[in-house]
Structures are given as C-alpha cells and as structure tokens.
Amino acid sequence: MEHHHSVLYEPFNKYIWRHAFGFDVPDHVIMALLVLLISSIVFPLAAKSFSKDNPGRFQHFLEMIVGGLKSLLEDIIGHGAGSKYLYIIGGFAVFIFMSNIFGLFYFLQPPTGNPNTTFGLALCSFLYYNFQGIKTQGLLHYLKHFAGPMPLLAPLMIPIEIIGHLARILSLGMRLFGNIFGEHTATGIFVGMMPLLLPWPMMGLGIFGAFLQTFVFIMLTMVYIGGAVAAEEH
C-alpha cells in the first residue's frame, strides 16, 4: 500500500529543513513536533483562564482527568504516588492520546502509527521505571530482585528477568504501533470506499481506540513503576 504523507511533510521539508540541512525530516517526527507545539500553546493559554471560584467546562474536564490519574496511581503504586508520578504519566497520556487522535484526520498522520515513535515511548517508560526502582531501593537492592528468592536459582533467574524486562519494550511499542497503524489504515480504506456513510462511525471508533490504547500504555507503565519501587524482601 502506498504510504501517504501528512499535509505538512512537503512544506516543512521544502521551505524549512531541506535547504538548511540537506535531508528530510520523517513525517512522524513532524507530527510529533506538532503535538508538542499544540500542547505547549493550548494548555498554557487554557491555564490562564482557570479559576478556583468559577471553573469552566474545560477546567472541570481537566480536573476530572487529573483526579482520575492520581487515583489510579494511588491504587496501583501506593500512597503518595499520585503527586510523585503524575507528571510522567500525564505526559505520556497527553502525548499518546493527541498523537492517536491525529489518525482521525486524513491530512495528518498519527505519530504513534510509526514504530520509531512507539518504541521511543516504550524505551522512555523502561528507563524511567528502572531509574525509579534504583533511586527508591538502591542499585544493589534493586538488582537483587533479578536473582530470585534463592541464590541457587540466580543463574537461571537473572537471564529470565532480564529478558522479561526487555520484552516490555517490545510489548509496549508493538501494541501501540500495531493498533494505531491498523485503525488508521482500515479507516482510510473504508472511508475511501464509502466516504459519505462511514466517516462518523469510524471517527467514533477511532476516538475510542485512541483512548483505549492510551489507557493501556499508561496502566502498564504504572504497573511497571509499582513493581520497580516495591520494597519486597527476598
């Protein structure tokens, strides 16, 4: 199947990047930068209108989302996690959801429909939860978890644990990429066949898929953080 670029791909590379650096920026990178640009404009502007006494609908919506994320963090990781890990989980949630939503627009491409983006996010999640585990428990105590409950089993458990942790990168990256790429491709095919009948139902399905894949990614990241910082004794 022919790959379609976003509407910004050629103008960005032709008028901004190509002449200056001699090569083209991939489309998924341009789309990821667009997500960051929109976020950096919309949220600060919205924050200026926030009020404790008379909150608007958008403020109520954001407060509901933040409250839900804090509650999940507290339930999955433990007391105090809602404030400690909200920024990284919230950052993942906003970026992934907005990236997924790009798939609803024919003139854009979802950054999460490219494996380079999803594996980059998965690697960030992997490095972050391991860093938090080392920071919370100390390097030696954290590494002891890889050896299993008995020293005798360490030669067997250490390779298994390492493979299991590395497989999390593959799992997070492939799950997000496969679902978003598949939904975006299927939507494009069906809308091309019946453009007047399918757009709205497919957009509803796309919004649900964008939310679901965002939720799965952040939930798994919370679980990994919770496992890394848990003070278990062997």
**Position 187 pLDDT exceeds 50:** yes
- Please state the rounded mean pLDDT for residues 35-42: 94
**Position 189 pLDDT exceeds 90:** no
Question: Is position 86 within any domain?
Answer: yes
Identity of the highest mean pLDDT range in 4-8, 39-43, 167-171:
167-171
Q: What is the mean pLDDT of the chain?
A: 87
Percentage of the chain exceeding pLDDT 90: 56
Question: Is position 3 within any domain?
Answer: no
Half-sphere exposure of 61 (CA within 13 A, CB side): 6
**Position 201 pLDDT exceeds 80:** no
What pLDDT is recorded for position 5? 86
What pLDDT is recorded for position 38? 95
Question: Is position 118 within any domain?
Answer: yes
* CB of 125 closer than 8 Å to CB of 166: no
Question: Is position 53 within any domain?
Answer: yes
Question: Is position 50 within any domain?
Answer: yes
Torsion of CA 104, 50, 42, 103, to 10 degrees: -10
What pLDDT is recorded for position 2? 43
- Please state the rounded mean pLDDT for residues 179-185: 83
Q: How many domains does the chain have?
A: 1
- Please state the rounded mean pLDDT for residues 159-166: 94
What pLDDT is recorded for position 190? 67
3-33 pLDDT per residue, tens: 578 899 999 998 888 877 888 999 999 999 9
Q: What is the Cα–Cα distance from 101 to 207, expressed in whole angstroms?
A: 7
Q: Is the backbone of residue 51 left (phi > 0), alpha (psi -120 to 50) or beta?
A: beta
Question: Is position 234 within any domain?
Answer: no
Question: Is position 67 within any domain?
Answer: yes
Q: Which structural domain, as residue segments, surrounds residue 189?
A: 9-229
Short-list 93, 89, 83, 108, CA closest to 8? 108
pTM for the structure as a whole: 0.89
Helices (DSSP H) in 138-198: which residue ranges?
139-144, 154-193
Question: Is position 1 within any domain?
Answer: no
- The one-character DSSP state at 102 is G
Q: Look at 97 and 48; give whichever has higher pLDDT.
A: 97
105-162 pLDDT per residue, tens: 878 899 999 999 999 999 999 999 999 999 999 999 898 888 877 777 888 889 999 9
**Position 176 pLDDT exceeds 50:** yes
